[in-house]
Structure 1
Amino acid sequence: MHDHYSKNGVGLSITGIHALELFTLPVGYTKRWVNDFLSDPSPPRARELRQAFEIPHLAWSGSRPTVREQGMRLTKSHGLKTYAGPWGTRLAHPVEAMVAAAPYLSQWRLTACLDALMSGALQIPEFTPQPAMTNEEITAAISHLPARNPAVIAAKRALRNAAEPVWSPMETLVRRMVVTQGFPEPILNHPVMIEGELAYPDLSWPELRVGLEYNGEIHLLDRRTYGTEMNRIRTFQDHGWDLNILVLDDLEDPALRWKWIQWLAEKLNRRSQRAG
C-alpha cells in the first residue's frame, strides 16, 4: 500500500505500531497486573492492539490521498523528519509514530520505547544504525505535536518517567516498580570495577552496594550465559554487594513480588544506617 500510494506523489510514511517495530522498539502487550501495580490507566484502545498489529497504518503529508481500500488507517503527519525504511519505504519520525501508537500502548511500553530511543542506536533493517536521541531532541519533537491531544499528553508523561541507559523493556518495568514503591531512583547499568573487569548491574545503589538484576529467558536457555551470570553474581557478593536476581515470576506473582520488595527495603535501610 505504501508503494502504491507513494507512486502518486502523496508522500506517505509508515507510522504507528508498524513503524515502531521497524525501529526495533519494544511495542507489545501489557498484562493487567502491570497497570494495576504502577497505578497506570489502561490505554483507551488496549483491546484493539491485536487489530492494530494487523492493519497498515500510514501517515500522509500535503494533500490527503483518496483511499478506497478497506483495512488500513491514514493519519495526518505533523511534518517531523522521516527515515528511510526497508523495501523503499519511509518511516515516520519515531516520536510521531509513538504518539500514533499511544492509544494502544501502556505507559510502561511508551516509557520503554523512549528508554530505548535514548539508550541505543535506531536499528532499522537494511540500514546503518541511526544515533540515539537525546531527551532534549525528543522533547523538541513532542513540542511540534498538538499539545492537547491525549496521545501527546501520554507521551509527555512517559518521557517524565524515561531514563538511560536501559538495555531492555524489563529493566524499565523493574525500575518503575521500584520507584512506584517509594525507593530512591536507582542508577542504571552503572559500571562497577571488580577484579579488573567492568560489570553493569541493571539497577543499583552503588554507594550502598545493593543491586537488582533481571534475567530473561536467555539466562535460562543458554547454559554458557547462565554459568557466566552465576559466576558474576558470586563475584559481586564476594566484594560486599547484595545483589538480587529477578525473573518473570518474581514480578508477576504477588507473594514473590513482595518478597523481593521487602528484601530491597531491608538491604537499603540496613546499609544506609551503616553509612550514617
Structure 2
Amino acid sequence: MTERTPLPNGWADRAFRVGLCTALLVRMPPDAFFTHGTAALLLRLPVPSRFARVRAVHVGVPAPAPAMDRRDVVGHSLRIDPDDLVDRGPLRLTGPARTWLDLAALLTLAELVAVGDHLLYWESPVLTRGELADALARYPGRRGLALARAALPLLRTRSESPRESVLRVIIVLAGLPEPECNYRAFDPQGRFLGRGDLVYPEYKLFLEYQGDHHRTDRAQWRSDIRRIGRLEDNGWQVLQFTDDDLHDPAALVARIARRLRDRGWTS
C-alpha cells in the first residue's frame, strides 16, 4: 500500500531551486513569471524526478512580448490571465490550474493524471475539477490541450500517490474495469481487514503498488504481511506491483485480467 507522497523525487534540492529562481529575478522583465516545470517544482507538485534534475528555468512573459532569451532559461511568450498567477514569497509563477495545463505539453497522459489527482485529493484539495475545466476552456490554443482534455475525466479524488495514479490509468486505458481507490475491506463481522490502493470489491481483489519503503522499513514489512494474511484468510487476493511492472504495461494488464477472470469477471 502506498503513502501519500506530495513531493517529487529529487526535491532535496528545493533550496537550490528557489535560490536559483530568486537570483534570476534581477534579470527578468518586471512582468515575467515562472512557469511549466519550474512552476510545478515551486508548487511542490508530484512531477517526475527528471524535472528536478534539469537546471534550466522556465520563465514566461505575457504575449506578445518576446520570450526571455538567455543561458539556462527556457523562455515562453504566453497569453495569460493575471488571475492565473500566484506569488510564493518574492517569486511570481503560474497557479496550480494553469501549471497543470502547461504540463500537458511535457508529461505523458498517466503523469498528467497523477498531478491532477494530487490537486484534487479529497483531504486537502488544492482546486476543483471545475477550475481545471475552466482553464481548459479559457486557453483553447495551448500545446497539449488534447492530452489535458483526455486526462480530465480520468482524475479521481482519492488517489494517494503518483504511482498509484499511473497504475490506475494503465488499467483503465487497457479496457479493464476501473478499481476503487483506497478501499477499506471488512470481514462479515465488521472487523477491519485492510485498506488497498486499488480494489475490486466485487471480485475481492486488491492491487497494490509497493514502493521501496515497504521493503526497507521493517515495521512496514511486518504490517504488510499481517494485513495480507488477514485478507487471504477472508477470501481476498492481493496482487503487488513495483516500479518495474509499470514499465511493462502489457504484462501488468494481462496479469490483472487473468486474476479477474479467475474470480468471475467476463470481458
Quickly name the TM-score band, shorter chain normalised.
Answer: 0.7 to 0.9
* CA distance in structure 2 between the aligned counterparts of 1:131 and 1:262, rounded to whole angstroms: 34
From 147, 151, 164, the equivalent of 1:158 is: 151
From 217, 224, 227, the equivalent of 2:219 is: 224
Whether the 8 Å CA contact 2:61–2:68 is kept in 1: the answer is no
CA root-mean-square deviation: 3.1
* CA distance in structure 1 between the aligned counterparts of 2:86 and 2:94, rounded to whole angstroms: 7
From 197, 202, 207, the equivalent of 1:207 is: 202
Aligned-residue offset at 1:77: 4.5
* CA distance in structure 1 between the aligned counterparts of 2:105 and 2:147, rounded to whole angstroms: 9
Corresponding residue SS for 2:116: helix
Counterpart of 1:114 in structure 2 is 116
TM-score of the pair, normalised by structure 1: 0.74
Whether the 8 Å CA contact 2:84–2:95 is kept in 1: the answer is yes
1:99–1:175 Cα change, 3 Å: same
Unpaired runs of 5+ residues, structure 1, are 31-48, 122-129
Counterpart of 1:19 in structure 2 is 39
* CA distance in structure 2 between the aligned counterparts of 1:58 and 1:273, rounded to whole angstroms: 50
Corresponding residue SS for 2:177: coil
Aligned-residue offset at 1:182: 1.9
* AA matched with 2:98: E
* CA distance in structure 2 between the aligned counterparts of 1:211 and 1:92, rounded to whole angstroms: 38
TM-score of the pair, normalised by structure 2: 0.76
Whether the 8 Å CA contact 1:120–1:132 is kept in 2: the answer is no
Matched, 1:133 2:127: yes
State the identity %. Answer: 25
1:263–1:225 Cα change, 3 Å: same
Deviations 1:157-189 (A, max 9, x none): 222332231111111221122223321111111
Aligned-residue offset at 1:5: 5.7
* CA distance in structure 2 between the aligned counterparts of 1:262 and 1:245, rounded to whole angstroms: 14
From 83, 93, 103, the equivalent of 2:86 is: 83
From 137, 144, 152, the equivalent of 2:138 is: 144
* CA distance in structure 2 between the aligned counterparts of 1:246 and 1:197, rounded to whole angstroms: 23
Aligned-residue offset at 1:198: 6.9
Whether the 8 Å CA contact 2:33–2:92 is kept in 1: the answer is yes
Corresponding residue SS for 2:186: strand
Higher strand share: 2
Counterpart of 1:238 in structure 2 is 233
* AA matched with 2:138: H
Corresponding residue SS for 1:227: helix
Counterpart of 1:190 in structure 2 is 183
1:236–1:81 Cα change, 3 Å: same
1:20–1:236 Cα change, 3 Å: same
* CA distance in structure 2 between the aligned counterparts of 1:171 and 1:104, rounded to whole angstroms: 20
Matched, 1:59 2:60: yes
1:244–1:66 Cα change, 3 Å: closer
1:216–1:150 Cα change, 3 Å: same
Unpaired runs of 5+ residues, structure 2, are 1-22
